[in-house]
Amino acid sequence: MSEAGAGEGSDEFGRIARRGILFVLSSPSGAGKTTIARRLLELEPGTRMSVSATTRPKRPDELDGRDYLFVSQAKFDQMAAQGGFLEHAEVFGHSYGTPRDQVEEMLADGFDVIFDIDWQGAQQLAQAVPQDVVRVFVLPPSLSELESRLMRRAQDSAEVVAARMAKAVDELSHYGEYDHIVINRALDDSVAAARAILNAERTRRERYTGLDAFVNSLTEDRS
Ligand SMILES: Nc1nc2c(ncn2[C@@H]2O[C@H](COP(=O)(O)OP(=O)(O)O)[C@@H](O)[C@H]2O)c(=O)[nH]1
Ligand SMILES: [Mg+2]
């Protein structure tokens, strides 16, 4: 076997086979998790975004199939009844869910999957696949900063912003259910923190399915 080549349990780059990560980002509305998720996706090879289905109306800057799958309530209920969601929940009066097939395909193809979902979804995923979920909670530096971000976005009505602010305090109370906390003061720092978390989690021993085979192949080379 060539020195730099693949051993048992590793690919042609010497990477050891491992299970993919379900990398969950949650936060109160407007704390910046969607932006962090998009940046992670651009910067980290080997990641894919889980695109949720939702019954919420599409915003002008959103694309069907990229930001969400925008579906009717009837379609959503049908998918849920057929077990088509890995998790689903109601948030701000609309239904949101993670299509199961898409995530399973991405994991099977060797990708780590990023989720922009709320605490209810994070809880359900953690119950379904406890070993493979990494939960990151993004906190705003202050509630006034959160409110101004929501208003700056200005895509939602004043009532919606007010409702989301009220809900933010509620959502904040779930920080204790997460593995990592990122305070989003400056976007670049938060993105760097999220990348550091992802890359540290990638090398956890328990994730490697090919570790025994790889180490065995190392020692076989000596004999
Ligand atoms: N449980 C769950 N929550 C989701 C899903 N997709 C989005 N969410 C969450 O629903 C909330 C509202 O999202 P959205 O309507 O895009 O508004 P945002 O608060 O501006 O991001 C956010 O907390 C999302 O993380 C999903 O598939 N499942
Ligand atoms: Mg969002």
pLDDT value of position 4: 43
Atom of ligand 1 nearest to the CA of 171: 23
pLDDT digits (tens, 9 = 90+) for 51-75: 999 999 999 999 999 999 999 999 9
Q: Give domain 22-202's CATH architecture.
A: 3-Layer(aba) Sandwich (3.40)
Q: Whose CA is nearest to atom 20 of ligand 1?
A: 29
Threshold 0.85, pTM exceeds: yes
pLDDT value of position 78: 98
For every residue of the chain, which 3-state class applies, written as one string? Answer: CCCCCCCCCECCCCCECECCCEEEEECCCCCCHHHHHHHHHHHCCCEEECCCEECCCCCCCCCECCCEEECCHHHHHHHHHCCCEEEEEEECCEEEEEEHHHHHHHHHCCCEEEEECCHHHHHHHHHHCCCCEEEEEEECCCHHHHHHHHHHHCCCCHHHHHHHHHHHHHHHCCHHHCCEEEECCCHHHHHHHHHHHHHHHHCCHHHECCHHHHHHHHHHCCC
Spell out which residues line ligand 1, taking CB within 6 angstroms.
29, 34, 52, 56, 87, 89, 91, 96-98, 116-118, 120-121
Query: Could you say which residues of the chain have pLDDT below 70?
Result: 1-7, 154-155, 223
pLDDT value of position 7: 67
